[in-house]
């Protein structure tokens, strides 16, 4: 370890661009992890969602496009088009105290919708990481049709 510390300044001096890139990537990783820990909504795995469904009966909101929803969705999920997703709507406002799980095809769009729910005052907000792709890959049940 002592040898490493003695050679480190020489390495940094000889490889300035590489060292700077390392520092930038390390800072980006730290910031990303801190943001994930501090946000007020959480990512669920398919197993975590199953556990939540068995324990707390959450509201499942699927914001996938209509054709994707009809090809397969989680049993009990309510379909809401992303263009019509409004956290302030009367239907969603009734569920403000319930756990709410947002689902989409990949999990990316669901994060934005989850953030909107948090801003609207929802307390227990989750999204399915990996979306329906992760759910079907875990070979969990899906319902086809409306």
Catalogue the active-site residues. Answer: 104
Q: What span, in angstroms and rounded, lies between the C-alpha atoms of 23 and 14?
A: 15
Dihedral angle computed from the Cα positions of residues 128, 125, 109 and 32, in that order, rounded to the nearest 10 degrees: -90
What's the token pair of residue 70? 């009809």
What size, in residues, is the chain? 146
Please provide residue 38's backbone torsions phi and psi, each rounded to the nearest 5 degrees: -90, -15
- Write the DSSP string, 128-141: ETTHHHHHHHTT--
């Amino acid at each position: 370890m002592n040898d490493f510390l003695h050679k480190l300044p020489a390495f940094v001096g000889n490889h300035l661009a590489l060292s700077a890139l390392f520092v930038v990537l390390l800072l980006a990783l730290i910031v990303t992890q801190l943001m994930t820990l501090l946000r007020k909504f959480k990512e669920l795995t398919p197993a975590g969602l199953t556990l939540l469904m068995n324990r707390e009966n959450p509201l499942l909101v699927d914001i996938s496009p209509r054709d994707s929803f009809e090809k397969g969705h989680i049993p009990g999920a309510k379909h809401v088009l992303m263009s019509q997703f409004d956290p302030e709507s009367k239907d969603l406002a009734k569920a403000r105290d319930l756990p709410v799980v947002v689902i989409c095809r990949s999990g990316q769009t669901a994060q934005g919708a989850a953030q909107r729910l948090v801003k609207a005052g929802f307390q227990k907000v989750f999204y399915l990481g990996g979306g329906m792709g992760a759910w079907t890959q875990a070979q969990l049940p899906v319902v086809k049709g409306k």
